[in-house]
Structure formats: C-alpha cells, structure tokens
Amino acid sequence: MTRTFEKGDKYRPVVTVTKVKKDVPTVVEMSGRRYILEHKDQRSKKPMEVAEWT
C-alpha cells in the first residue's frame, strides 16, 4: 500500500548519501531517484547558443 501525499504533508524519507564533497552531500538517492546538488554559480546564466545552418 502506497501513501498518497498532498502539498504541505511532512514525512521522513530514507535518504542515502552517494557522494560528499568538502563535507557537503552533493549526490543523494531517495525513493529510487538520484538528486544532485546544483550551486547557483554552476551553470552559466546566458541561454545556450543555437547554431545557424545555411
């Protein structure tokens, strides 16, 4: 039996830390899914350039 969740519900999931960098968990697994920490400076803010074909 699976539990149905609604917005605002609180529960304690089982989280497995997969990777740690400088004492900060950067990759975790929860409910069979992998979550990766992304810092605000990690990606460039400009949109990807599109190559023009002639």
Task: Give residue-wise pLDDT tens across range 21-33.
Answer: 999 999 999 989 9
Got the DSSP string for 8-52? Answer: T------EEEEEEETTEEEEEEETTEEEE---TTSS-SSPPP-PP
Contacts within 8 Å (CB) and 24+ apart, 31-35: none
pLDDT surpasses 60 at 54: no
Task: Give residue-wise pLDDT tens across range 1-53.
Answer: 788 999 999 999 899 999 999 999 999 999 899 999 988 777 766 666 666 66
Q: pTM higher than 0.85 for the full model?
A: no
Q: What is the mean pLDDT of the chain?
A: 85
pLDDT at 15 (0 to 100):
95
Identify the CA nearest to 18 among candidates 8, 30, 9, 6.
Answer: 30
